[in-house]
Structure 1
Amino acid sequence: MTNIRFLSFLMLLLAVTNSYAQNTPIQNYPKITGYVGILHPIVTYSSTTTDTNFDGHYVVGMPTGINLWKSQKIGFSAEFVPSVRAQDGSSKMANFTFHPGVLVALGDGFILAGRLAFETSGRYGVTPVLNKTLIKNKNCSYFAALPLPVRFGNDKPTSFTIGFQFGIAF
């Protein structure tokens, strides 16, 4: 009788486990994701000036990237950011940034991206980005991010920018 109870328990456990496994998507790694967004630099500080976006000019970027997640916690990202500047009734592409970096999942939808930056303006530097997934759907998710670029080079003083980014990942 004990063997029958034990076998019944095992069959029940197997059935519950199998049912749960069929309803839970399994993440396979490496995993590739992509995203696109809109970037608004809010204010840039340097030793010579403070430059505020929307004050006499408007700069907007369109970050587009590919993420290669090695595991649930860590990945690599390559981001490409063309920027447009509108001022005095005209606009032009002002800069293009190549942003390779490392992704670290912090939990609760937060991701820290540590990026290097190489710009066509001749500047270079680092860009730490704190990213938060706001809405997660089956096929995409919506996020907001706080990029904090630090730039050097091209005979200009070091600068620090606070920006706001939002977008969609798929």
Structure 2
Amino acid sequence: MYLKLTFFFAVLLSSINISAQTTYPKITGYFGIMHPIVTFSSDETTVNFRDYYAVGFPTGINIWKSQKIGFSFEMVPNIKDDNGTDKVTNLLFHPGVLVALGNGYTFAGRAAFETSGRYGFTPVFNKTVFKRSSCSYYAAVPLPVRFGNDHPATFTIGFQFGIAF
């Protein structure tokens, strides 16, 4: 009897690939640098690095429910230097849904709530560029759409890179 149970458990354990298993929910964190490249509105088109310099520092936590879907909460302090005056212009609260697309690509659909009074949504297309055992490096293209605060609607194309751990 004990020999049969031992054999059964030995076969069962040998069929499981322990190194490939991940327990869900899986929690990861990240930090990045985001540069808006160009912003379009009905009033004007502005270009970062030419008209001003703006940078954001996205910091967040991802909670993966499974290998394919997760939830993310991100906060982004934004700094702007315009005509030699620099200041924190905004803090963005950025919750969203994560969808793994395969081959290191992820889509994040985020709601956007800014302390400047603006709101909207941000689709983000993300790619893991280098994957290491303790961290990953990524590049992303955020596409923020914003409304409110007596300003015209805007659409921005940005570039983000960072580290996930």
TM-score, length-scaled by structure 2: 0.90
- Percentage of identical aligned residues: 63
Pair 1:53-2:45 in alignment: no
Pair 1:85-2:91 in alignment: no
Determine helix, strand or coil for the equivalent of 2:78: strand
Code of the residue aligned with 2:157 in structure 1: it is I
Code of the residue aligned with 2:56 in structure 1: it is G
Code of the residue aligned with 2:106 in structure 1: it is I
Residue of structure 2 aligned with 1:125, choices 120, 126, 132: 120
Q: How many residues align?
A: 158
Determine helix, strand or coil for the equivalent of 1:60: strand
d(CA) in 2 for partners of 1:74 and 1:148? 20
Deviations 1:2-61 (A, max 9, x none): xxxxxxxx99x949x728725x23100001000000000000000110010011310000
Q: Which has the larger radius of gyration?
A: 1
Code of the residue aligned with 1:45 in structure 2: it is F
Code of the residue aligned with 1:127 in structure 2: it is T
TM-score, length-scaled by structure 1: 0.88
Question: 2:96 corresponds to which residue?
Answer: 101
Determine helix, strand or coil for the equivalent of 1:35: strand
Code of the residue aligned with 2:81 in structure 1: it is A
Q: Which runs of 5+ in 2 are unaligned?
A: 1-6
Determine helix, strand or coil for the equivalent of 1:102: strand
Question: 1:136 corresponds to which residue?
Answer: 131
Code of the residue aligned with 2:163 in structure 1: it is I
d(CA) in 2 for partners of 1:19 and 1:136? 27
Q: Which runs of 5+ in 1 are unaligned?
A: 1-9
Question: Structure 2 matches for 1:144-159, cutoff 5 A?
Answer: 144-159=139-154
Question: 1:67 corresponds to which residue?
Answer: 62
